[in-house]
Structure 1
Amino acid sequence: MNHETKRDVFEGLVEELANAYIALDGEGIGEELTNEEKQAYMKDYDAALPDDLPVIPELIGKYLIMRKHDRGDLVQALDEGTSFLLDGTQWESVQDWFWFSDVKDSVDTFARAWVLGVWRVEETGEIVKLEEEK
């Protein structure tokens, strides 16, 4: 699973260019990137995750995964998150996080995580990416 962000790919390219600059021999560029290398960078960039992933609490992420596996839709997830038990943890209401959390636009944040299928866990910084259905 690829967890590179656009920034990671960009920094890799900058590093390669810096190394090419160091290789200058005074008569021109030391090593020019081949077309295959350029295409590989473009492919990596296209596959990389966005830099500004939504950040949601771990429990909200578990709820999102649960609703996705139940083949629910976003409207149901937003509407029906009134009380559930997951891993022995009771969350009085997922809607409490939507409406009363310190996260500005938490509903939008949840929706972005839902649509992208990837988010950063608030407590750990870990990136969670839903597996694509076969």
Structure 2
Amino acid sequence: MSEETKQDVFNEVMDEWQVDETMPDANWKYPDFKLVRIKEKRFKDRYDAALPDDIPVVSKDVSNTMRTYHFLWWKEFLDKAYDNELSGDEDINYKVRSESAEVARALILGVWRVAETGEIVKLEAEK
């Protein structure tokens, strides 16, 4: 699983395509267009596969609970939290409610970052 963000790919493209002042004029004015197309395709594919820059961040306890209840639709998950029906740590319902905006975004996107560890979690689609 790639943990590369769209900004990471963009920065690498900018670094690679930066004109070196020591290059002869002919080399950067008339590049090898076949090579340019190959690199462009490679970067487009990486950019499309990259994670969004603004990944939701949730606490470790909330992340673990989201994994446990991965089969619920995001609204059902939050409804359970507001009805104090989530099992686990006694404060988990409160924690989920306090992070509800990030939790909703994370469940809709299917990806989030754990605040304490920086780990990126992706929900896998059922097969």
Structure with the higher strand share, 1 or 2: 1
SS in 1 for 2:25: coil
The one-letter amino acid paired with 2:28 is: I
Higher relative contact order (CA 8 A, sep 6+): 2
5+ residue gaps, structure 1, are none
Identity of aligned residues (%): 35
What does 1:1-134 correspond to in 2, within 5 Å? 1-18=1-18, 21-22=19-20, 24-29=23-28, 31-32=31-32, 33-68=35-70, 71-81=71-81, 82=84, 83-85=86-88, 90-94=89-93, 96-99=94-97, 101=98, 106-134=99-127
Query: TM-score, structure 1 length as denominator?
Result: 0.78
CA contact (8 A) 2:75 2:104 kept: no
User: Number of residue pairs matched?
Assistant: 120
CA contact (8 A) 2:62 2:96 kept: no
5+ residue gaps, structure 2, are none
CA RMSD between the two structures: 2.0
